[in-house]
């Protein structure tokens, strides 16, 4: 996904229109899945749902736009470093808005990730776009806030992640269309489609939009399935491998330079992220054991208390 995005962004001056095309393709695929009865989507217009999802949709458009701008200005191999502060910002956001106090080990994991970011940006010595770093940090902040808003947004769609993904893609595409015109991409879009742009550039844009639109749709489903059928740790390890693969592909396809400092930065960020996931898994298991231990034995025997439900309620 990262490599395909970079392939198009290297050859286009309309990154927001490219993002809008990806969202539209995802919406079309959702509709096709609904028609084929693979998925069941809510197609009716519900004003209350839309009002409840306004923060989610706004943050989604901002986050995806900043991510695209990040990738446009930095190497594909450096993309995950530029957005490396997602975890620390997420923990900080949870502390501020959810009053979730992090443990010492969680703070240690965040410190490792932050260290990896600074190694890649300031200590590597390789030239890095300041604009790309700005958009990377801004994207990380938006992603962190987005993770908090998701919890509230799921309540609006009665806990259905599938319906949330459908609404988010649909209304993000609708919102992004006037924004890209307002920000001056209109002439660039007309030039791309009808102007003096070479056929090769248009072909790259169309094929790139199709590939990334399909991949984005599949990834939204694959991520949910990965967490559902394995575990958060397995999912994080697979994400870490994905990040390394993207860096190697960037080096191979775009001739990116992966210096010792950049490789160290990627390794530290991924190591800190995996460590964080392991810590959170251990804390969750400990909380689960405590919830079982607090249920009186006679209540369990008489069926008066469901410890699994107690744990779910405590988590919520």
Q: What is the pLDDT of residues 97-148, one digit of tens each?
A: 878 888 999 899 999 999 999 998 888 777 788 999 999 999 989 988 887 7
pLDDT value at position 126? 75
Residue 151 placed within a domain? yes
Question: For 220-234, what is the mean pLDDT?
Answer: 58
Residue 228 has pLDDT above 80, yes or no: no
- The predicted pLDDT at position 313 comes to 47
pLDDT in tens, 157-196: 888 878 888 898 899 999 999 999 999 998 888 888 887 6
**Residue at 261 is within a domain:** yes
The predicted structure's pLDDT at residue 243: 66
The predicted structure's pLDDT at residue 315: 45
CA angle 117, 122, 126 (to 5 degrees): 105
Is 171 domain-assigned? yes
114 vs 268: CA distance, rounded Å? 9
Q: Nearest 5°: CA angle at 76, between 13 and 265?
A: 140
Q: What whole-number distance in Å separates Cα of residue 71 and Cα of residue 74?
A: 5
Of 242, 193, 244, 212, the residue nearest 5 (C-alpha): 212
pLDDT of residue 27: 92
Q: How confident is the model at residue 300 (pLDDT cuts 50, 70, 90)?
A: very low
Query: What pLDDT is attached to residue 310?
Result: 46
Range of the domain at 254: 2-293+305-315
Domain count within the chain: 1
Long-range Cβ pairs for the range 198-202 (8 Å, 24+) = 201/11, 201/12
User: Is 204 part of any domain?
Assistant: yes
Query: Is 299 a domain residue?
Result: no
Q: How many CB atoms lie within 10 A of CB 20?
A: 25
Residue 300 lies in a domain: no
Average pLDDT of 41-48? 84
Q: Length of the chain, please? A: 316
Task: Please give the residue that has the higher pLDDT: either 292 or 159.
Answer: 159
Burial of residue 237 (CB within 10 Å: 0-12, 13-18, 19+) is middle
The answer to whether residue 298 is domain-embedded is no
pTM of the model: 0.80
How far apart CA 105 and CA 122 sit, in angstroms, is: 25
pLDDT of res. 42: 87
Inter-residue contact 12 to 134 (CB < 8 Å): no
Asked whether residue 44 is assigned to any structural domain, the reply reads yes
Report residue 235's pLDDT band, with 50, 70 and 90 as the boundaries. low
How many other C-beta atoms lie within 10 A of the C-beta of residue 235?
18
């Amino acid at each position: 996904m990262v490599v395909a995005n970079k392939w198009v962004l290297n050859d286009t001056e309309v990154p927001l229109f490219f993002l809008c095309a990806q969202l539209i393709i995802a919406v079309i695929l959702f509709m096709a899945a609904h028609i084929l009865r693979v998925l069941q989507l809510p197609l009716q217009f519900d004003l209350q749902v839309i009002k409840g999802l306004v923060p989610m949709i706004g943050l989604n458009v901002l986050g995806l736009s900043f991510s695209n701008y990040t990738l446009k200005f930095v190497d594909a191999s450096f993309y995950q470093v530029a957005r490396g502060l997602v975890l620390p910002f997420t923990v900080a956001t949870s502390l501020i808005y959810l009053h979730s106090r992090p443990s010492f080990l969680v703070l240690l994991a965040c410190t490792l990730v932050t260290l990896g970011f600074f190694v890649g940006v300031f200590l590597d010595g390789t030239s890095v776009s300041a604009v790309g770093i700005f958009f990377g940090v801004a994207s990380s902040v938006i992603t962190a806030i987005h993770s908090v808003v998701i919890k509230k947004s799921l309540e609006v769609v009665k806990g259905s992640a599938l319906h949330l993904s459908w609404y988010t893609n649909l209304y993000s595409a609708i919102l992004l269309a006037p924004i890209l015109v307002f920000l001056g991409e209109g002439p660039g879009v007309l030039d791309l489609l009808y102007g003096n742009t070479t056929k090769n550039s248009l072909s790259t844009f169309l094929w790139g939009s199709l590939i990334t639109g399909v991949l984005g749709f599949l990834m939204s489903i694959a991520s949910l399935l990965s967490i559902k059928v394995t575990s958060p740790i397995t999912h994080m390890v697979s994400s870490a491998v994905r990040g390394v693969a993207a860096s190697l592909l960037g080096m191979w396809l775009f001739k990116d330079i992966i210096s010792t400092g950049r490789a160290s930065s990627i390794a530290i960020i991924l190591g800190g992220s995996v460590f964080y996931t392991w810590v959170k898994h251990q804390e969750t298991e400990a909380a689960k054991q405590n919830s079982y231990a607090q249920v009186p034995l006679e209540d369990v025997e008489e069926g008066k208390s469901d410890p699994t439900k107690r744990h779910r309620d405590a988590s919520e």
